[in-house]
Amino acid sequence: MARDLMAKRATLEQRSRRLTLIVVGVLVFAGAVAIAASAVTVWMEQGTLDHWLLLTTFTAERLLPLLGAGLLLGQMPLCRWPIAAALLVAGIATGLPWHDELMQLLAPLPGAPTHFFLVGPLACLLAGLLLVLPPSLRFWPSLLVMPVMGAALALAVDFSDPTFHDRAYLPWALVTTVWVLLAAGLVAGLFTASWTVIASRVFGSWLLAIGALYGGAYMASKQTELVPPPFVQPSVIGGNFPGFDPILKSFERWGPRRRTLQDGREG
């Protein structure tokens, strides 16, 4: 009787896991199509991706901790990963409205104000700290670490805005962040061999090393506040429009200048 009950429970858990992987796979595919369509649209309109909203999202400093968090969620038991995922999302949702308070907490760290308040190295350290643990010991520490890592990722999203507060950036960046988490979790859920656990722990040690190296290098600068560049007094330029003559000449290089009243008097 007990064996039959355990077999039914295992079968139910396997079906639930398969269904979860299918749903996550559909979401990852839809997200990949949307991200690719956004990049293609920008490329067709501008001929470059230099002004793409998600350009700063796909950087190593942003992707590494996201991949680590995705691996953590994907390797957790099905009954536990929703709790860890909810804590991570709660940390992200808390970090955005409370970013000023979090910046004040991180500001005393050496080099923090000049290096995005060290949120990138901090997220790498937190993700690596959980990944190096055996899978059976990851859940309970994650209850404390996941909200902090979510807040660090939220600050990283906010600091990586390449625009002047474009309203479309934050929704796109948050959706892409969730997409990276789901994609990494999907890969971790599909490959369940024993070597994947070893590989994830190795990746966690790399994250620890990367976070410590970059964080230590930033803090070694010992610069605790932003220093404005020295103001250079511009030289006096003669002409009808002092100070603007070089700019006007650069305009004339690219096309005819509109006729002015002074031009009419001179003619």
Position 178 in a domain = yes
pLDDT per position as a tens digit, 78-96: 888 888 888 988 888 888 8
Both 46 and 162 in one domain: the answer is: no
Residue ranges making up the domain that contains 22: 10-52
At 48, give phi and psi (nearest 5°): -160, 160
* Tokens 């490329």 sit on residue: 43
The answer for residues whose C-beta is within 8 angstroms of residue 117's C-beta and 6 or more apart is 102, 103, 106, 107, 109, 155, 159
| Secondary structure (3-state) at 96 | coil
pLDDT per position as a tens digit, 96-107: 888 777 777 777
Position 94 in a domain = yes
Position 43 in a domain = yes
Both 118 and 183 in one domain: the answer is: yes
Q: What is the pTM of this model?
A: 0.72
Position 200 in a domain = yes
Both 121 and 200 in one domain: the answer is: yes
Q: Are 112 and 131 in contact (CB under 8 A)?
A: no
Provide the CB-side half-sphere exposure for 178 (13 A, CA). Answer: 17
Residue 210: which of 149, 145, 125, 132 has the closest Cα?
125
Confidence check: pLDDT of 163 > 80: no
DSSP per-residue letters across 40-75: HHHHHHHSSSTT-TTTTTTSHHHHHHHHHHHHHHHH
Tokens linked to 50:
């230099």
Confidence of residue 242 (pLDDT cuts 50, 70, 90): low
Both 72 and 169 in one domain: the answer is: yes
Both 138 and 188 in one domain: the answer is: yes
Q: How far apart are CA 267 and CA 253, in angstroms?
A: 21
Tokens linked to 35:
């991200």
Crossing angle between the packed helical segments 60-75 and 194-220, to the nearest 10 degrees: 150
Per-residue confidence (pLDDT) for residue 248, from 0 to 100: 54
Calculate Rg over the CA atoms of the chain: 26
Confidence check: pLDDT of 60 > 50: yes
Position 114 in a domain = yes
Confidence of residue 254 (pLDDT cuts 50, 70, 90): very low
Per-residue confidence (pLDDT) for residue 22, from 0 to 100: 87
Position 251 in a domain = no
Per-residue confidence (pLDDT) for residue 262, from 0 to 100: 47
Report how far Cα 231 is from the mean position of its chain's Cα atoms.
Answer: 34
Q: Are 75 and 127 in contact (CB under 8 A)?
A: no
Both 168 and 59 in one domain: the answer is: yes
Both 144 and 25 in one domain: the answer is: no
Query: What total of structural domains would you count in the chain?
Result: 2
* Tokens 């994907």 sit on residue: 74
pLDDT per position as a tens digit, 198-231: 888 999 999 999 888 887 776 666 555 555 556 5
**CB contact burial 243-257 (16+ within 10 A = b; e otherwise):** eeeeeeeeeeeeeee
Residue 177: which of 119, 235, 225 has the closest Cα?
119
Angle at 80 between CA 24 and CA 210, to 5 degrees: 75
At 221, give phi and psi (nearest 5°): -65, -25
**What mean pLDDT value characterizes the chain?**
78
pLDDT per position as a tens digit, 67-81: 998 888 888 888 888
Residue 206: which of 65, 62, 59 has the closest Cα?
65
Per-residue confidence (pLDDT) for residue 247, from 0 to 100: 54
Confidence of residue 260 (pLDDT cuts 50, 70, 90): very low
